[in-house]
Amino acid sequence: MIEINNLTNFRLDKELFTGLAKKALKGENRGTKTVSLAFVSKEEIKKLNNKFRKKNNPTDVLSFKLSEKNFLGEILICPEVVKKNAKKYRTDFEKELMKVFVHGILHLCGYKHEKSQKQAEIMEEKESFYLDGILNNKF
C-alpha cells in the first residue's frame, strides 16, 4: 500500500505510483508493507538533506526507513530537482520520476549503492527491471 502526499503544485498520476509501488514491494517480498510518498519543494528537500546527510544542497530523493510492523518507511521526492536531472540525463521527466521512486523503495528494502560498486550495480539492475516492467506492461 502507498500513502501519497503532494506538498507541491506538481500534478501527479497517483495510479502510476500506486501500481509501481505494488510491483516493486511485491518483487522485494514486502507486498504487505505501507510506504509513504511525499512530493516536497526544493527548499524543503535541501533542508532535510542537510539535516540528515550533512549535504547542503537539494537532492531528488530521500528515503527514511522506519521499523514499524506494517510501515516500511517514507520517500520524499523533489519534482523540481527530478525535472532538472531529467534534462541533464536526456530522459523523460515521468520516467526519471518513476526511477527515483523505485530507487527510494529499494533503499527502504535495504539496498545501499554507496557501499560498493557491486551494490550500485544490483540497485541499477533492479531499478531497470521494475521500470521496464511498468513501462512495457510486463507485470
3-state secondary structure of 101: helix
Q: Which three cell numbers stand for residue 61?
A: 530523493
3-class DSSP state of 9: coil
Q: Which CATH class is domain 2-135?
A: alpha beta
How far apart CA 133 and CA 73 sit, in angstroms, is 23
The model's pLDDT over 14-46, given as tens digits with 9 standing for 90+, comes to: 988 998 999 999 999 998 899 999 999 999 999
Query: Is 0.95 topped by the overall pTM?
Result: no
Residues pairing with 4 in the sheet: 37
d(CA 38, CA 124): 23
Domains of the chain, by residue range, sit at: 2-135
C-alpha–C-alpha distance, residues 35 and 23, integer Å: 13
pLDDT, tens digit, 9 for 90 and up, residues 58-82: 999 999 998 788 999 999 999 999 9
Residue with cell 501519497: 4
